[in-house]
Structure 1
Amino acid sequence: MTDAGRATPKKRPLRRRVALLTVALLGAGLIAVEAYAISPSVRIAVADVWEGVGASGRLVGMLSDSDERVRAVASSALVRLGPAAIPACARGVEHPDPRVRKFALFTLGQLGPPAKIALASILNRATNDPEPDVRKAAIQALPNVVDENSAATTTLAGILASGDTDGRLAAVKALGHPKLQSADGVAALSRALKDPAAQVRRDAAESLAAFGPTAAVAVPALVDALRDPEADVRVEAAETLGSLSAFAKSAVPGLIAALKDPHPKVRSEAAEALEQITRDWGDGEPTLRQLALDALAQINREPAP
């Protein structure tokens, strides 16, 4: 057959050909280099070779490296390998080394919905792993992996009820993700407005803003949060109430009271929330609207701080 009639073999990318040649020449020696090389830069070069040949299992093993740069390079390489790396990462979630579990979970989160085959392991690590950093990594991975999964919402709600502070912080942020928004999530975040940690309370109020009208049932809890001892929480509660617009009309008396808050940022957010809530009322709610307008007029007359 002439060259014209012969199928042209598809060439591998140069990087992959070099990696394959390196493995062919060094064989088991490359594994020894990975294990005993003192310089992190050498181990990073080995990770590059493993990526070139698609050796996801070797890369997962490198997630236990003593140098964070090497672990980060290995994790990035696994992400670039895409769905082919998911089985190895799923095994990494069960690894005895917590560094491997943490980076394997992070990588699964980066790989997105195809990684949902590992969801059961991720949920288990989110609640049962003995290492706080691993639990946090599992929680952070959930929104990227799941697809409107009620089990994930239930798990996160449980973490809010009994987890450590870092875990609760990660959970309130995860519950605000579009894939995990649900009535159960609103209820869990409403309860989190009473969390002992101020940052959790603040982030819970912020996450509720992402729900839009669905968060209307949280208005009473947000109004209570306007009296939180921490100004940052009060600011976020007022801002979230404003984002709910007319769905938060029952918050008007609480927001009017917040106009007398000792913190200027709280007063400012309360005034803005009142403006947002009453903007489209017309004459439908004359009493509440007049209360809001009077309060706004009063704050506008106050001298600037």
Structure 2
Amino acid sequence: MTDIPTPAHLLGLIRQFRGGESEPGKDAIAGLLAKLEGEDSAGLLEAAQDLARIEPASEVAIALLRRRLDHADWDARFSAACGLGCFEPAFPILHAMLDDEDAQRRALGAVGTSCSPRAADAASDLIRLLEDPDAEVRLRAVDAIRSVADDAGVRASASVVPRLTALIQDADERISSRAIAALTAFGPAAAPAVPAIASLLRHPVYWVRWEAIGALADMDAEAVATAVPDLIPLLRSTLAEERSAAAEALGCIGPAAAASQDELARLGGEDPDEMVRAYALEALARIRNPGTIDE
């Protein structure tokens, strides 16, 4: 399927399910097809998932969703791309969109591909799009790469971690944050990204710092030990949530975070926030007694 059906052909397909005498099966399919043209994005995705299991209705469903890709509203286009990802026959369409001259079409292609069970088949193109000149394309490519991070072929790529690491410094804060989250999905292979992630602990935007702290807490303790000097200043943050998160990350690092013990002890005894005190004392215990670190 390479072309969108003509209006006449599409109308004929729709009539198979909406026209003629009422039948339970036709009525159910007609209701699902109607959701593909509605305003409820969640309902659209659920309908697409159901229709993907009804082979006779797939062609018309894919056609309706492809037409929705030209909707005036971005959210409608986004939901259409996600819906297309539910249909295996639509994968070549989405894959081809990754090479479209129009940046928005490339972004939508990445969105739809990330929703497809065949997403890993497009990994090399998605990795390439991490360097796309358009910010929206880079953002959606990062999300798509994160969705296939468990694939052996993706993990074996020599370029994926360096390219995600480079995006940590992207001017678009959404991309920085999502790149950090994507890197954590690569486990020990993401160790070279630790210095770049640690540099964001000084970022002026709180939620970017939050993503960086969370990533360091989730990564291999030995690999993130070099970030301890960058985490310690956050124990004096004016935000209780940030002090708690920094303490938790230091506890996850364990004995290699020994330099933070004085600050953690101070928090554990003096911080006005009960949760901060609890996280600080737990971190101290994990640093002093590695046996308490969860495996």
Q: Is the 8 A contact 1:102 1:133 kept in 2?
A: yes
Q: Structure 1 residue 237 and structure 2 residue 240: aligned?
A: no
Question: What is the distance in 2 between the residues matched to 1:86 and 1:193?
Answer: 39
CA, structure 1 residues 119+74, in 2 after alignment: closer, same or farther (shift >3 Å)?
A: same
Write out per-residue CA displacement over residues 241-298 of structure 1, whole angstroms, 9 at most, x where no aligned residue: 122333433331232233344554333321221123223579xxxxxxxxxxxxxxxx
Matched to 1:44, the amino acid is E
Deviation string, structure 1 residues 49-81 (Cα, Å, up to 9, x no partner):
996138868744532323567546633442222
Partner of 2:138: 135
Identify which of 46, 67, 72 aligns with 1:66: 72
Deviations 1:19-75 (A, max 9, x none): xxxx89942656999xxxxxx948639x86996138868744532323567546633
Aligned residue number for residue 147 of structure 2? 144
- Pairing 1:75–2:75 present: no
Q: Is the 8 A contact 1:143 1:180 kept in 2?
A: no
Per-residue CA distance 1:72-107 (angstroms, 9 max, x = gap): 66334422223x433211222233555533332122
Alignment CA distance shift 1:218-1:150 (3 Å)? farther
> Residue 9 of structure 2 is aligned with which of 27, 33, 48?
27
How high is the TM-score relative to the length of structure 1?
0.66
Q: Distance in 2 between matches of 1:24 and 1:106?
A: 25
Q: 1:197 aligns with which of 199, 205, 208?
A: 205
Letter in 1 for 2:168: L
In structure 2, C-alpha distance between the alignment counterparts of 1:180 and 1:64, rounded to whole Å: 41
RMSD: 3.8
Whether 1:108 and 2:117 are equivalent positions in the alignment is: no
Unmatched tracts of structure 1, length 5 or more: 1-22, 34-39, 283-305
- The one-letter code of the counterpart of 1:271 is L
Distance 1:187 1:101 in 2: 31
Change (3 A) 1:28 1:238: closer
CA distance 1:230–1:69, change in 2 (3 Å): closer
Cα distance, 1:237 vs structure 2: 1.0
- CA 1:206–1:199: 2 relative to 1, 3 Å: same
Superposed CA offset, 1:94-129 (max 9, x none): 3355553333212212225x4344334323433434
Amino acid at match of 1:93: L
Relative to structure 1, the CA distance from residue 143 to residue 273 in structure 2 (aligned partners, 3 Å threshold; closer, same or farther) is: same
Quick check: 1:91 aligned with 2:90? no
Report the 3-state secondary structure (helix = DSSP H, G, I; strand = E; otherwise coil) of the residue aligned with 1:80. Answer: coil
Aligned to 2:286: 276
Looking at structure 1, the residues matched to 35 and 207 of structure 2 have their Cα atoms a distance apart, in angstroms, of: 41
How many residue pairs were aligned?
250
- Aligned partners of 2:7, 2:67: CA distance in 1, in Å? 22
Structure 2 unaligned blocks of 5 or more: 16-32, 39-47
Give the equivalent residue in structure 2 for 1:265: 275
Aligned equivalents of 1:41, 1:257: Cα separation in 2: 61
| Residues 1:123 and 2:127 are matched in the alignment | yes
1:238 counterpart SS class: helix
Alignment-mate amino acid for residue 136 of structure 1: L
Structure 1: how far apart are the matches of 2:37 and 2:75?
A: 8
Provide TM-score, normalisation by structure 2. 0.68
Q: 1:73 to 1:190 in 2, by over 3 A?
A: closer
Q: CA deviation at 1:180?
A: 7.5
Which region of structure 1 is more displaced relative to structure 2, 50-59 or 183-192?
A: 50-59
1:225: how far off?
2.8
Report the CA distance shift for 1:63/1:250 in structure 2 as closer, same or farther (over 3 A): same
